[in-house]
Amino acid sequence: MEVKFGTASFRTLRLNFTWTVLGNALYTATQWGILVVVARLGNPEAVGQFSLGLAITTPIMLFAGLQLRAVQATDALTQYRFQDYAGLRIVMTSAGASVIFGISGLFYRGDAALAIAAFAVSKGIDSLSDVVYGFWQQHERMDLIAISLILRGLLSLIGATIGFAMVHTVWAAVCGMAAAWAVVFMAFDVRRGIVLANELNQAVWPRFSAGRMTRLIHLSMPLGLVTMVLSLNSSVPRYMISHFRNVSELGVFSALGYIMMAGTMVVGALGQSAIPRLSLFAAQGRTKEFRRLSLHLILIGMALGMCGVLAASFFGGRIITMVYGLKYAHNERLFFWLTVAAASGYMASFCGYSLTAARQFRIQMPLFSSITLLTILLSYAMVKKGGAVGVAQAAAIVGFVQMAATMVVLSSTKTWRLTSTS
């Protein structure tokens, strides 16, 4: 029997997962392809500049986004309309991009400043697409998200390759990527978003109601802060390597880390597909189903992580050489510890999805702030002694601590503890 959710029926989790994996797989492969292009046509320093641009812009734009997509996807009672989410996203995205432009002009010069500014534009366009994705995800139209991601991925790979090949600078590659994303946003996301909104009898024109935006900010701010903190948590290792070592070593660290994106893609796809179902279980007090699905997700994360660790143990050197070439091949030990860090991160991410689905937003700020503080301390202590390898080891430790701490918080919630009423 299908469970009705608003005016849209629940498609099976398997179908949603299939679409999400397909879209995210191709999108992730193309984004990785951009990094490979920069690594092959450029050098580790160019990869480091690319990574540094992401590390600076991502936390700011994620905070500006307030994780509205997650709030939309878990809005089982439709407390807010799409036009409310869209209006707030436009305001916050403009503010976030302005902050990044300011940082670019004040603290950086030359190609680095241009690369950061270009990332601000690309992240802004990505943020606008994301609010449409939240609307589609809320009504389990993961097929539309997948198609958009595929189009964005393919066109951005072409645009970034042309830009880097012609100008041989990171900012040109990012500008090519941003142009491709803008085309897909206008030609596909907006048009198909309007079609679905009309089917659901909803308005699509952004609404800038001060009262509703204030209430929505109050609801989503804790999750936005948590997202920024989590992004800082993943960016801190890059800051440490860039500051205490050099941009070239940062480039190697970032390039090898991208190889684990296949596992990250699966985790993200399954987590995004499961959130609406987990949210429904939480809203209806169906604790047994909520716990079962949550634990299954964590076990999947463990299995994915172990596959990566085993592959790095036996074939690490071959994998690195095949993807990036001989100049990266002597970093097998770094690659191994990055896979361990990825394994712990996969499981911690699934715990986080369950916590978000239970709409436990406020507790996440002190929880993940503590995790980020631990990341800073461990990375600072270990980067001086072990360089990039030490930072990877610190990330692995932090991942396991994050998983354990999130499970403790989740197990104390009513969603986890109540007896199932289903």
pTM given for the model:
0.67
Question: Would you state the pLDDT for residue 196?
Answer: 84
Written as tens digits, the pLDDT of the chain (422 aa) is 333 444 334 445 667 777 777 887 788 888 888 888 888 888 777 888 888 888 888 888 888 888 788 787 776 666 778 888 889 999 999 999 999 999 988 888 888 889 999 999 999 999 999 889 888 887 778 788 889 999 999 999 999 999 999 988 999 999 999 999 999 999 999 988 888 888 877 777 888 888 888 888 888 877 777 777 777 777 788 888 877 887 778 878 878 887 776 677 778 878 877 887 888 888 888 888 888 888 999 999 999 999 999 999 999 888 888 877 777 778 889 999 999 999 999 999 999 888 888 877 778 778 888 888 999 999 999 988 888 899 999 999 999 999 999 999 888 877 776 543 43
Q: Is the dihedral of CA 366, 119, 258, 391 positive or negative?
A: negative
The token pair at 96 is 């976030």
Q: Considering the domain boundaries, does residue 1 fall inside one?
A: no
Q: Is 3 part of any domain?
A: no
Q: What is the pLDDT of residue 10?
A: 44
* Boundaries of domain holding 110: 8-417
139-172 core/surface letters (b: 16 or more CB in 10 A; e: else): bbbbbbbbbbbbbbbbbbbbbbbbbbeeeebbbb
Residue whose C-alpha is closest to residue 121's, from 160, 178, 64, 173:
178
Are 44 and 252 spatial neighbours (Cβ–Cβ below 8 Å)? yes
CB 346 within 8 A of CB 398: no
* Residue 184 falls inside a structural domain: yes
pLDDT of residue 63: 84
If one counts the domains in the chain, the total is: 1
Q: Is residue 422 part of a domain?
A: no
Residue 2 in domain: no
